[in-house]
């Protein structure tokens, strides 16, 4: 195996002298048998960087640099969107402006101001210092040479070619730019479209065929502005301005998330619709399978949302049909609490006879019936719990609810010749345990004195 000879060491001082005399790193590398990268790396290790550092540009120079890159691209690059209007038509960039510094120097001495556009005096001569001037955007549009992919086609009349915007500002034009664009679209000759006077304010002007199509597609069929413009073959902004001027424009609907209670009501509406139509819904056999449907007035969510707010919707309420066999609609539905819903629920097939009855105030009812009585102050679970603890039926039904500001039953304890609440006995100096333990001892049958004063059991 042959070992390659060692690579000779690069003499950086000799390389620096050669470069100072006008040689390049590549030329020095070829002359001495080194690689260009090796020479550059050796010089870099010794603190010599041959790469030119780019000059920092200020805000105005950055704007001009972007304009220069756009001019260079539209004249030389086939991938640039404006190449077909410039480079493909023979518009070229002069050799002097191939350098950014030269273009910046010309811009500073030629009266550039922020917001100005560059305009060509003669397209055949291309971009060069003697053929370019700074102009406002409206002046560029008026000359018909605006460099934009969305530029309108030039209109030729009276031996001149201008854009529609430029013709609208011409003193011979008697209508606005929108009206002129509409007339040209309808097929009128250019001179007639420009000079024809508009109809008198009090006269009746025949309807434009184009706007009859807009009326059909946008208003009747409900299409969007973009679809309408494509169907009739005109631009988006012409249709949009015409719709706004005639009062036909439909504002965008408010998103559901921004509507009052929008998400909650949307979820309720979707669940109601699926109960009536989707066989996969768990309640379809109770609703949709029985022929119950959604009313036509509620097929649109926004109509349901408007009714819900007008009917007094609150987050704690639920939607319920007054008639269990009727369809979902404004005339058959109400917002109710959970307790009110039990009154209108469809009766089950099983018997509703209560398992046991409670006799009070000369009446006999079941626990659920007593909870619906206006004299009852607690829920059915609270009523049953009171009766199990031995309270008389009348007291169990009418005793104030603690959550509504009353005193809880059984909380007043008599011991040591005095009556106090459970919380007060827990703060008493004779108490050896807390209020929870005193209550637990009393429920286990201990006397009040023992429940308060007996020491806790220690394992």
pLDDT at residue number 148 = 44
C-alpha pair distances (Å), 344 with each of 336, 349, 380, 381 = 10, 15, 18, 21
Report whether 25 contacts 50 (CB < 8 A).
Answer: yes
Q: Take residue 441 and report the two structure tokens written for it.
A: 């001892």
Higher pLDDT, 259 or 2: 259
| Residue 8 CB contacts under 8 Å (≥ 6 apart), including other chains | 33
CA gap 249, 410 in Å, rounded: 70
Whether residue 93 contacts residue 126, with contact meaning beta carbons closer than 8 Å, is answered with yes
Would you state the structure tokens that stand for residue 95, as one six-digit string? 């050799």
Question: Which backbone phi and psi does 446 adopt, to 5 degrees?
Answer: -70, 150
Residues 273/294, Cβ–Cβ less than 8 Å: yes
Q: What is the pTM of this model?
A: 0.32
Asked if residues 139 and 121 have their Cβ atoms less than 8 Å apart, the reply is no
How far, in whole angstroms, is CA 368 from its chain's centroid? 49
Predicted confidence band of residue 336 (pLDDT cuts 50, 70, 90): confident
On the question of pLDDT at 202 being above 60, the answer is no
Phi first, then psi: what are they for 328, rounded to 5°? Answer: -75, 120
Q: Is residue 239 within 8 Å of 214, Cβ to Cβ?
A: yes
Greater pLDDT, 389 or 47: 389
The CA distance from 208 to 205, in Å, is 9
> By three-state DSSP, how is residue 107 classified?
helix
Q: How far apart are CA 455 and CA 458, in angstroms?
A: 9
Residue 27 burial (CB count, 10 A): 14
Reported as a single tens digit per residue, the pLDDT across 49-83 is: 666 666 677 888 888 888 888 888 888 888 888 88
Question: pLDDT tens for residues 204-262?
Answer: 454 567 888 888 888 888 788 888 888 888 888 888 888 888 888 887 777 877 888 88
Opening angle at CA 218, ends 214 and 219, nearest 5: 105
CA–CA dist 34, 42 (Å, integer): 11
Nearest Cα residue to 373 out of 364, 386, 355, 321: 364
12 backbone dihedrals φ, ψ, rounded to 5°:
-65, -35
* Separation of alpha carbons 30 and 36, rounded Å: 8
Q: How far apart are CA 38 and CA 29, in angstroms?
A: 8
Which residue in the block uniquely carries the two structure tokens 């309807």? 207
177 forms bridges with which residues in the sheet?
none
Q: What is the pLDDT of residue 304?
A: 92
Burial profile 378-407: b = 16 or more Cβ within 10 angstroms, e = fewer: bebebbbebbeeebeeeebbebeeeeeeee
Give the tokens for residue 226. Answer: 């973009």
40-49, 119-128, 345-354, 380-389, range with the lowest pLDDT: 345-354
Give the pLDDT of residue 197: 83
Strand 363-365 vs strand 358-360: parallel, antiparallel, or unpaired?
A: antiparallel
Burial 338-368 (b: 16+ CB within 10 A, else e): eeeeeeeeeeeeeeeeeeeebebeeeebebe
Buried b (16+ CB within 10 A) or exposed e, 116-143: bbbbbeeeeebbbeeebeebeeebbbbe
Is the per-residue pLDDT at 187 higher than 70? Answer: yes
Give the residue extent of every domain in the chain.
Answer: 1-53, 59-151, 256-334, 358-404, 412-453
The pLDDT tens digits of the residues spanning 414-433 come to: 899 888 888 788 888 889 99
How confident is the model over 128-159, as pLDDT tens digits? 988 888 888 777 765 654 444 444 567 888 88
Give the per-residue pLDDT at 18. Answer: 76
Q: Is residue 227 a contact partner of residue 217, using CB atoms and an 8 Å limit?
A: yes
The pLDDT of residue 1: 47
């Amino acid at each position: 195996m042959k070992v390659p000879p060692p690579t000779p060491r690069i003499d950086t001082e000799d390389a620096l002298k050669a470069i100072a005399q006008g040689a390049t790193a590549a030329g020095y590398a070829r002359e001495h048998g080194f690689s260009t990268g090796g020479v550059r790396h050796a010089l870099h290790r010794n603190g010599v960087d041959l790469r030119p550092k780019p000059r920092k540009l200020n805000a105005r120079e950055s704007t001009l640099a972007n304009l220069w890159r756009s001019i260079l691209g539209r004249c030389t690059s086939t991938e640039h969107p404006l190449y077909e209007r410039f480079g493909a038509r023979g518009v070229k960039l002069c050799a002097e402006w191939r350098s950014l510094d030269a273009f910046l120097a010309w811009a500073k001495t030629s009266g550039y101001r922020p917001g100005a556009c560059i305009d060509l005096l003669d397209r055949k001569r291309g971009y060069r210092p003697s053929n370019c001037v700074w102009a406002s955007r409206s002046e560029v549009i008026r000359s018909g040479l605006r460099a934009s992919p969305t530029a309108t086609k030039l209109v030729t009349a009276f031996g001149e070619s201008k854009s529609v915007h430029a013709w609208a500002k011409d003193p011979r034009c008697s209508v606005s730019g929108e009206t002129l664009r509409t007339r040209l679209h309808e097929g009128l000759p250019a001179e007639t479209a420009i000079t024809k006077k508009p109809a008198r304010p009090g006269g009746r002007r025949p309807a434009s065929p184009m706007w009859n199509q807009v009326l059909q597609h946008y208003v009747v069929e409900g299409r969007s502005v973009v679809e309408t413009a494509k169907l009739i073959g005109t631009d988006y902004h012409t249709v949009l301005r015409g719709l706004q001027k005639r009062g036909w424009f439909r504002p965008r609907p408010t998103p559901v998330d921004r509507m009052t209670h929008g998400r909650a009501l949307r979820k309720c509406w979707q669940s109601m619709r699926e109960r009536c139509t989707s066989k996969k819904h768990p309640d379809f056999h109770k609703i949709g399978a029985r022929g119950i449907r959604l009313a036509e007035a509620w097929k649109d969510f926004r109509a349901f949302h408007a009714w819900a707010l007008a009917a007094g919707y609150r987050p704690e309420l639920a939607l319920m049909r007054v008639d269990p066999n009727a369809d979902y609609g404004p005339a058959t539905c109400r917002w109710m609490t959970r307790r009110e819903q039990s009154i209108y629920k469809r009766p089950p097939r099983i018997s509703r006879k209560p398992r046991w009855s409670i006799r009070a105030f000369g009446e006999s009812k079941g626990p659920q019936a007593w909870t619906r009585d206006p004299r009852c102050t607690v829920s059915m679970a609270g009523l049953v719990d009171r009766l199990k603890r031995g309270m008389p039926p009348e007291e169990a039904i009418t005793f104030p609810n603690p959550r509504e500001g009353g005193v809880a039953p059984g909380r007043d304890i008599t011991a040591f010749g005095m009556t106090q609440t459970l919380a007060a006995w827990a703060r008493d100096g004779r108490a050896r345990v807390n209020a929870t333990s005193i209550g637990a001892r009393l429920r286990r049958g201990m006397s009040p004195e023992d429940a308060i004063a007996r020491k806790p059991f220690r394992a």
